[in-house]
Amino acid sequence: MKKGETRPFKELADEVYKRPGAREEIEARSAGIRAVMKLAELRKRRNMTQTALAEVLQTTQANVSRIERGGNPYLETLEDFVEGIGGRLEINVVFDDEVVPLKLPEAVAVPTPTRSSRAA
């Protein structure tokens, strides 16, 4: 092949897939990429603005933004519980045409009230 000459994608893909384990590695990496999809990316993928979503949810665009940036304490609590019993919480977003694993936001540490603060 001469310098600067292009090759069809199928030809390149066939060459890569000939390597042992390549197909499995590519599939695993693809699943990993889908698994880390964040809420904002998911909304954008569905061609929806924050404002449009806010209307559907009967809230404000600012609230949609907050939801996308932050975690849901109830999900975090559930995740902590499931991890505490040795499991892993997984959530899938299911549309008519696809299923997308949703990555949960990082847990936010919330201080536990002490007995003296509860009595106050």
pLDDT along the chain (120 residues), means of 10: 79 88 81 60 85 87 78 62 78 88 62 48
pLDDT value, residue 118? 44
**Residue 115 domain-assigned?**
no
**Residue 95 domain-assigned?**
yes
Task: Give pTM, 2 decimals.
Answer: 0.38
- What's the domain count of the chain? 1
**Residue 1 domain-assigned?**
no
**Residue 113 domain-assigned?**
no
**Residue 2 domain-assigned?**
no
Closest CA to 68 of 47, 82, 54, 56: 54
pLDDT value, residue 104? 66
pLDDT value, residue 92? 86
Question: Looking up tokens 């892993």, which residue turns up?
Answer: 88
**Residue 118 domain-assigned?**
no
Domain that holds residue 84: 10-108
The CA distance from 2 to 118, in Å, is 76
**Residue 29 domain-assigned?**
yes
**Residue 5 domain-assigned?**
no
